Every structure is written in C-alpha cells, then in structure tokens.
Amino acid sequence: MTDTVFEIIGLNGMIVESINKQLVGITGKIIDETKHMLIFNTKFGKKLISKNICKFEIYKNNKTFCVNNSQLMKRPHERLEVYHE
C-alpha cells in the first residue's frame, strides 16, 4: 500500500511481523475491520488481530502489498476518504 489505498476486506493477508511472535505467520481472509483491529478468517477460525502491533502482507490481483500499522490505524472509510479528497 505504498501509494495505493484500497478496501482490504475480502482480501487475503498474512502477518509478517509482530510484537507478539505467536501471531507471525497467521494467514487468512480479512473479513472485517475496525479502527484498531483486523478480523481474519483462518483455517482455525476467526482471529482478531490488533493493527498497532503487526505488519501485514495483503494480496490483491496477484500482487503483494506490505502494510505497516500506521497505514491502517484509521477506520476503513476514513482511510479511503483521505485518498479521495
């Protein structure tokens, strides 16, 4: 998500870095999002992941976007509004 802002709900993602090392490697479809949390649907069920402690890879159209917590720390509609102004 370097210069591109897009909706991430419905896309697949993976946690690549985290303060909590047990979260690294979690993969799944992002099914919901709040200002501070991403909700992943994984093979082990739903996982609520705090945005402020993780770095993510998001997959869209056969491309990989590396996203850090500061790029996501808004509500989804707020993040898109900034892009469209």
* pLDDT tens figures, 35-84: 899 999 999 999 999 999 999 999 999 999 998 887 888 777 776 654 44
**What pLDDT does residue 5 have?**
57
pLDDT of 1 higher than 60: no
> What predicted TM-score, i.e. pTM, was given to this entire model?
0.82
Domains of the chain are 12-84 (2.30.30.210)
First to last CA, the chain: 18
Decide: helix, strand or coil at residue 5: coil
Q: Give pLDDT, residue 7.
A: 84
Q: Which helix (H) or strand (E) holds 18?
A: strand 12-18
The pLDDT, as a whole number, for residue 84 is 41
